[in-house]
């Protein structure tokens, strides 16, 4: 209990210190070895970050295979509350970087959040080889939030080669979108067509900077000799995007909506009369999207993301350059529920948990993904959800728990549901107490409150997320095993090891680089206390 007392005393102190730095006044801590209340020396200071009320984990995920993207990434924010986002050092940055595929950030604890006063911002991500990602986010309550940002590789779609056919004073190309396997039989298709006038074709130049045709007679003579290969347009396109909750500009007002990219494409090449077109030279390629179903969406057209939200450009685009991309999208104007169904996770064990879930609509199309991280029992309330039924599929990626059956939700906007989580055979309950020691200041340690993960050392098991608050996490682990534990501090993982090996008298027998001791909790579980010296300059980052 002495550990907790120290933590809580200094938590109050650090709150005031953090408020100071966030408002631009003073330092985080002037002298962490002096008790500000008594003026007496403090032999050892434990700083608890549990005063951050809203924690956000961002995971960069490849849309094609759901793998985590572990390439250098730049993350930045725009919008109303962008300047309120900080790291756990209390630092605001123009850009955040990571090569770990995920990052945890938080909000200035002085900024209130509720459904009447939500946090609104846009996250942007750049990764080499991937399309730039942007998504509007709204947070309606405090708590732990996890966002899977589904990114698409550049030119990862299918190339479609289209042949132009004469049509009056121009040539037309058409392609019909295919209905995906997961779509229902009543899903309506759309069509994207292209048109180039003969007058514009006469402006096009080849790689030598010369006009490909000098007059219409010459051009039409070439067409009649080989109509099939006269005019060829190549488009790289993708259309396997899930529904997202995103921000859209509607009549000059920005609002959160159910938004779906129907197709994203890029012009790969244009051939005219057997030559590659390299310069439109003032010519135009006209592109039109048409919804061909019986019930048209509330909003349909080409969309472009501008700073903080999507904007619909209409159903026709006129391209004056060969370097063009497009996004055809639809959206629903049905109001989203700021707060929706509640889901309670229960178990007969005392443990933290991290459970990923995919929400599917009645047509088995992905609506959104969510991560639930907490400690049993804990209840979560869904936010910004459409008023429709859903099937919740829980991913089987936590080795300490048995697979969780699917959950059916009648309406995402209402109702309370309970999910019972069962322990796998061969696992025991433990408590981890973690102190992050500052390498350059032996008087200070951090009691982490951010993302942690464990797994059996050198195993192929997936990392098991744990909910660490104030340096304490209840976990499930196999006895007589060596474990790795890692915590995400800013852009890097900080890793160490511990063991669940004990002798006949209950003494800890593991030998590792960190200082590890054990004792028993009041309810009889084994408590493993880890004091790990951070390789990163954690004290420097905190300004000590």
Residues 379 and 253 in one domain: no
Structure confidence by residue, pLDDT tens digits, 298-334: 999 999 999 899 999 999 999 999 999 999 999 999 9
Q: Select from 154, 176, 195 the last residue of a domain.
A: 154
Q: Tell me: pLDDT of 16 over 60.
A: no
CA atoms within 13 A on the CB side of 6: 15
Q: Tell me: pLDDT of 180 over 60.
A: no
Residues 373 and 502 in one domain: no
Residues 284 and 252 in one domain: yes
Residue 501 lies in a domain: yes
When divided into structural domains, the chain yields a total of: 4
pTM: 0.83
pLDDT at 512: 64
Residue 388 lies in a domain: yes
Residues 284 and 377 in one domain: no
Residues 122 and 231 in one domain: no
Residue 36 lies in a domain: no
The residues near 511 (Cβ < 8 Å, ≥ 6 apart) are none
The residues near 359 (Cβ < 8 Å, ≥ 6 apart) are 366, 367, 368, 369, 370, 390, 391, 392, 393, 412
Q: Are strands 416-420 and 337-346 parallel, antiparallel or unpaired?
A: parallel
Residues 409 and 440 in one domain: no
Residue 132 corresponds to which tokens in the numbers above? 């730039």
Residue 133 sits in which domain range?
54-154
Structure confidence by residue, pLDDT tens digits, 33-47: 343 333 333 344 555
The most distant pair of C-alpha atoms in the chain lies apart, rounded to whole Å, by 98
Closest CA to 538 of 430, 413, 447: 447
Residues 174 and 307 in one domain: yes
Residues 290 and 175 in one domain: yes
CA 410/CA 431 separation, integer angstroms: 37
Residues 324 and 189 in one domain: yes
CATH (domain of 458): 2.60.40
Percent of the chain with pLDDT over 70: 85
CATH (domain of 116): 2.60.40.10
Residue 45 lies in a domain: no
Residues 223 and 82 in one domain: no
Residue 42 lies in a domain: no
Q: Select from 154, 173, 194 the last residue of a domain.
A: 154
CA 278/CA 274 separation, integer angstroms: 13
Residue 286 CA: distances (Å) to CA of 178, 193, 289: 22, 8, 10
pLDDT at 91: 84
pLDDT at 540: 60
Residues 217 and 308 in one domain: yes
Residue 33 lies in a domain: no
Residue 409 lies in a domain: yes
Residue 218 φ/ψ region, left for φ over 0, alpha for ψ in the -120 to 50 degree band, beta for the rest: alpha
pLDDT at 502: 83
Neighbours of 251 (CB within 10 A): 5
Residues 300 and 361 in one domain: no
Structure confidence by residue, pLDDT tens digits, 406-444: 999 999 999 999 999 999 999 999 999 988 887 777 677
């Amino acid at each position: 209990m002495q550990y907790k007392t120290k933590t809580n005393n200094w938590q109050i102190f650090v709150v005031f210190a953090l408020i100071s730095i966030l408002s631009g006044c003073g330092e985080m801590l002037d002298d962490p070895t002096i008790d500000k209340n008594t003026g007496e020396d403090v032999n050892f200071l434990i700083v608890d970050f549990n005063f951050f009320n809203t924690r956000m984990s961002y995971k960069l995920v490849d849309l094609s295979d759901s793998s985590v993207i572990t390439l250098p990434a730049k993350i930045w924010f725009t919008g109303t509350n962008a300047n309120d986002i900080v790291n756990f050092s209390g630092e605001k940055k123009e850009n955040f970087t990571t090569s770990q595929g995920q990052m945890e950030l938080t909000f200035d604890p002085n900024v209130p959040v509720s459904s009447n006063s939500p946090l609104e911002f846009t996250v942007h991500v750049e990764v080499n080889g991937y399309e730039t990602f942007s998504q509007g986010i709204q947070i309606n309550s405090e708590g732990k939030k996890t966002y899977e940002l589904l990114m698409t590789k550049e030119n990862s779609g299918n190339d479609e080669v289209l042949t132009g056919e004469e049509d009056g004073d121009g040539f037309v190309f058409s392609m019909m979108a295919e209905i995906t396997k997961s779509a229902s039989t009543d899903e309506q298709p759309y069509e994207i067509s292209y048109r180039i006038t003969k007058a514009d074709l006469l402006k096009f130049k080849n790689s030598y900077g010369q006009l490909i045709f000098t007059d219409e007679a010459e051009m039409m003579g070439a067409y009649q000799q080989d109509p099939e290969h006269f005019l060829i347009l190549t488009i790289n396109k993708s259309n396997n995007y899930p529904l997202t909750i995103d921000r859209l500009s509607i009549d000059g007002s920005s609002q959160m909506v159910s938004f779906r990219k129907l197709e994203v494409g890029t012009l790969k090449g244009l051939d005219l009369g057997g030559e590659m077109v390299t310069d439109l030279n003032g010519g135009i390629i006209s592109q039109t999207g048409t919804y061909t179903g019986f019930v048209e969406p509330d909003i349909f057209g080409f969309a472009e993301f501008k700073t903080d939200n999507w904007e619909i450009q209409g159903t026709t685009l006129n391209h004056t350059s060969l370097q063009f991309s497009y996004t055809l999208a639809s959206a629903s104007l049905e109001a989203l529920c700021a707060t929706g169904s509640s889901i309670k996770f229960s178990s007969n064990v005392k443990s933290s948990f991290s459970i990923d879930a995919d929400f599917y609509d009645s047509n088995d199309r992905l609506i959104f993904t969510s991560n639930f991280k907490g400690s049993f029992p804990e209840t979560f309330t869904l936010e910004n959800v459409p008023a429709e039924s859903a099937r919740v599929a829980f991913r089987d990626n936590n080795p300490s728990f048995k697979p969780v059956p699917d959950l059916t939700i009648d309406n995402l906007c209402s109702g309370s549901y309970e999910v019972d989580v069962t322990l796998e055979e061969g696992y025991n309950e433990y408590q981890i107490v973690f102190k992050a020691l500052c390498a350059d200041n032996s008087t200070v340690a951090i009691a982490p409150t951010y993302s942690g993960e464990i797994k059996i050392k050198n195993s192929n098991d997936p990392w098991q997320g744990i909910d660490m608050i104030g340096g304490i996490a209840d976990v499930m682990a196999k006895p007589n095993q060596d474990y790795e534990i890692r915590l995400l501090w800013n852009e890097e993982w900080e890793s160490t090891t511990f063991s669940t090996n004990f002798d006949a008298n209950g003494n800890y027998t593991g030998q590792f680089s960190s200082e590890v001791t054990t004792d028993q909790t009041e309810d009889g579980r084994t408590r493993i206390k880890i004091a790990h010296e951070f390789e990163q300059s954690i004290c420097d980052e905190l300004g000590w």
